[in-house]
Every structure is written in structure tokens, then in C-alpha cells.
Amino acid sequence: MEDWEEVEAASHPMEMASDATIRDYFARDCMRAIIGTLNGPVTGEERPGDFDYYADCAYKMADAMIRARNQ
């Protein structure tokens, strides 16, 4: 990805479903971070269940963020 493409993508955040919650927004950002730590592009599950595991981790992190936010 070219530098200008990254700036363009950052200036146009992804749209979320109208029923998305703050938890969903946090989980989305956590999922981006999780996938960003993987080696190479993510084109499919290396092992069955990997995506479920990543999603579970993202929502656990989102829940922790909400707990910290409410303190």
C-alpha cells in the first residue's frame, strides 16, 4: 500500500452497522491490531477456528476497555 493510500483510508473510517455498539467499535479496532501482528497477509484461516479465536480475543479486549472506561 502506498503512503497516500494509507492516509486516504485513515481519512475515511469504515462504516459500521447502525446497531453497532461502542463494544463493537472497540472490538473492530482490537481485531485490526490483532491481525496487524500476524506474519503476512490474512487470506484465510491457517488452522480451523483461528478467526473465531481472534474475534473472541478482540471482544475480550473490548470488554476490558469498557470496564476501564467506566472506572
pTM above 0.85, yes or no: no
> C-alpha cell of 12?
475515511
Domain boundaries, the chain: 17-69
Helix axes 22-36, 50-69, angle to 10 degrees: 130
Digit-coded pLDDT (tens) for 16-70: 677 889 999 999 999 999 988 888 777 788 888 999 999 999 999 999 999 999 8
Radius of gyration of the chain, Cα coordinates, nearest whole angstrom: 14
Note the pLDDT of residue 42. Answer: 79
b/e sequence 20-41, b meaning 16+ C-beta within 10 Å: eeeeeebbbebbeebeeeeeee
Given its phi and psi angles, is residue 61 left (phi above 0), alpha (psi -120 to 50 degrees) or beta?
A: alpha
Q: Greatest CA separation found in the chain? A: 40
